Structure 1
Amino acid sequence: MSISIKSLRHKSEKRYQFMMIVLGLILWAVVAYWVWKDWNEPRIGHFVQLYVGYGVAVALFIWIASAAYRASAFGNMILIGPRQFPELHQMVVDSAREVGLPKPPTTFLYNSNGLFNAFARRLMGGRYVFLTSALVDANNDAQVRFVIGHEIGHHAAGHLNPWLNALKLPAFAIPFLGKAYSRSREYTCDSIGAYLSKDLHASRTALQMLGCGCRRLNSQMNCDAFMEQESMVPPIFGFLTEISRTHPRLTRRVAAIRDGVEQASTMRDRMLDAEPRF
């Protein structure tokens, strides 16, 4: 039985997504009206046409860059599959199946020269996940499952839907709103990753490893001690430094995982109880 992403979606994301869609629609309508009204206006019409041309050029550049990145990935990175790191491939397949994706994302492993990172992208209409060698090397299997689940979560939750993102695009111009929306999406994917990993402790330590980055100390990490550092963050400057970031503080993310997984487990139990039994 696949888990409902709705049960894992962070409550703040629901609110911010609604705001982004509504404001995006309004701002796109304003832009469309402005273009229609002033397209042939003698004084500023040429500026309007120029800006529209810039917009088309940017969209074309993004499409070309996506095609180039895809070509570079297939030519230089390691494509994970049944014959190439089959254990990692199975993690991707199992996670995609459990969240209801019709097809597992194409997944690559690449040499990051020590950089810890993983990310999900849509390229030429396809779903992709990228894992750095340093991250896979430093984490154990349960932690890697969390990371893979987190990135697949971006696809399953619709965070990379190109049409929906285009609709919300103008709303990112509103100060701090887009960053707050991005942080809420990270909370959602942390919950998805933790649920798919089936190991709460490994999920929390996988996040903590982003701050630690030391394979030798991986098994010695204390998540409770790490979460206690949150109380040491100065309130004012902690707020000021976070409102301009796309990702929440690691201390907050580690603390939030338990709540997200417990909420999903409760909802799933209710769904199972509600199913007819014969």
Structure 2
Amino acid sequence: MIISVLVYLLLLITFVGILYIPLIFGVTLFIHGIAIGNIRNNGVRLNKNQFPKIYARAEKIAFDMGIREVPNIYILQSDGILNAFATRFFGKNFIILYSDIVEIAENGFEKELDFIIAHELVHIKRKHITKQMFILPAMWFPLLGNAYSRACEHTCDKLAAAYINNPESSIKALGILAVGKTLVRELNYAEYVGNAKFESGFFTWFSTVLSTHPPLPQRITEVYRIAPMFPSSPIASPERPKASVSQVQA
């Protein structure tokens, strides 16, 4: 935030800066608007008559989070990509679920889909998209902006795990992002996380600092640290007390 303020001041005290600030925001807004338009044109919007079961699950999670108005939720064909994201445009919140991530529920991973939806709802609950607009100049610095984005992802993972109150499904959802909805049934989580500790070197480090998302083994580890411990947890460890949402937020 401090760097953002300094950049704004530096731009404002120069004539070029005064011209460029509205231009940059305008171009960014225009490009974002085109992307939203494409989603609204081609995506399938969830409601009580369109994929009602998934919509009801999202509605319940949003209610549990204290989100008054359920975001506009769209399913978009993704050519096999397992992903979802939240965004905002002119005061309206959007969640886009790629079709392949939604289909995991058809494979028996309904709670895992709840985690994905909850993760995106936390972005809205914590106003991450709005905050990114306010600190946009700082986001121009790749290392700094991406570090903020990675921190947001960890926050969303932890809070989503707490809201659905199911650590096994939360960790398994991240496993699906790693190996897909079929191979995840055979994934050895302890081995996956353990091997990641030996993946070191300049390029592995540099790829991390340039990424907007933390490595999946890190995300799994962080979720496990705060999650309630169940006997069926994919990662064996001594039992620990149940974590509440308030504890995670702290």
TM-score, L = length of structure 2: 0.84
- Displacement of 1:154 in angstroms is 0.7
1:230 aligns with 2:199: no
Task: Please give the per-residue CA displacement for 1:67-121, whole angstroms capped at 9, x wherever unaligned.
Answer: 3333332321111111111111012111111222121111001111111110001
The amino acid of 2:42's aligned partner reads: N
Q: Check 1:72–1:241 CA distance in 2 against 1; reply closer, same or farther (3 A cut).
A: closer
Task: Work out whether residues 73 and 95 of structure 2, in 8 Å CA contact, stay in contact via their aligned partners in 1.
Answer: yes
Q: Check 1:246–1:268 CA distance in 2 against 1; reply closer, same or farther (3 A cut).
A: closer
- Displacement of 1:204 in angstroms is 0.8
Q: Check 1:267–1:251 CA distance in 2 against 1; reply closer, same or farther (3 A cut).
A: closer
| Correspondence for 2:39 | 73
| Correspondence for 1:25 | 5
- Displacement of 1:268 in angstroms is 4.0
Aligned to 2:14, the other structure's residue is in SS state helix
1:160 aligns with 2:138: no
- Displacement of 1:264 in angstroms is 8.6
1:220 aligns with 2:186: yes
- Displacement of 1:177 in angstroms is 1.4
| Correspondence for 1:182 | 149
CA distance in 2, matches of 1:88, 1:121: 19
The amino acid of 2:243's aligned partner reads: S
| Correspondence for 1:191 | 158
Q: Map 1:115-154 onto structure 2 (within 5 A).
A: 115-139=81-105, 140-154=109-123
Structure 2: tracts of 5 or more residues without a match: 229-240
Task: Work out whether residues 115 and 173 of structure 2, in 8 Å CA contact, stay in contact via their aligned partners in 1.
Answer: yes
Aligned to 1:204, the other structure's residue is in SS state helix
Task: Please give the per-residue CA displacement for 1:146-202, whole angstroms capped at 9, x wherever unaligned.
Answer: 0001111111111011xx333312223445111111111110011122122221111
Task: Work out whether residues 207 and 254 of structure 1, in 8 Å CA contact, stay in contact via their aligned partners in 2.
Answer: yes
CA distance in 1, matches of 2:76, 2:120: 15
Q: 1:170 aligns with which of 137, 142, 145?
A: 137
Structure 1: tracts of 5 or more residues without a match: 1-20, 36-47, 270-278
Q: Check 1:234–1:76 CA distance in 2 against 1; reply closer, same or farther (3 A cut).
A: same
- Displacement of 1:52 in angstroms is 4.1
Computed over aligned residues only, the root mean square deviation of the Cα atoms, in angstroms, reads: 2.2
Task: Work out whether residues 66 and 124 of structure 1, in 8 Å CA contact, stay in contact via their aligned partners in 2.
Answer: no
CA distance in 2, matches of 1:238, 1:245: 11
Aligned to 2:86, the other structure's residue is in SS state strand
Q: Check 1:184–1:196 CA distance in 2 against 1; reply closer, same or farther (3 A cut).
A: same
CA distance in 2, matches of 1:234, 1:107: 39
TM-score, L = length of structure 1: 0.76
1:265 aligns with 2:232: no
The amino acid of 2:95's aligned partner reads: V
CA distance in 1, matches of 2:209, 2:101: 27
- Displacement of 1:54 in angstroms is 4.3
CA distance in 1, matches of 2:223, 2:146: 20
- Displacement of 1:142 in angstroms is 0.7
| Correspondence for 2:235 | none
Q: Check 1:84–1:173 CA distance in 2 against 1; reply closer, same or farther (3 A cut).
A: closer
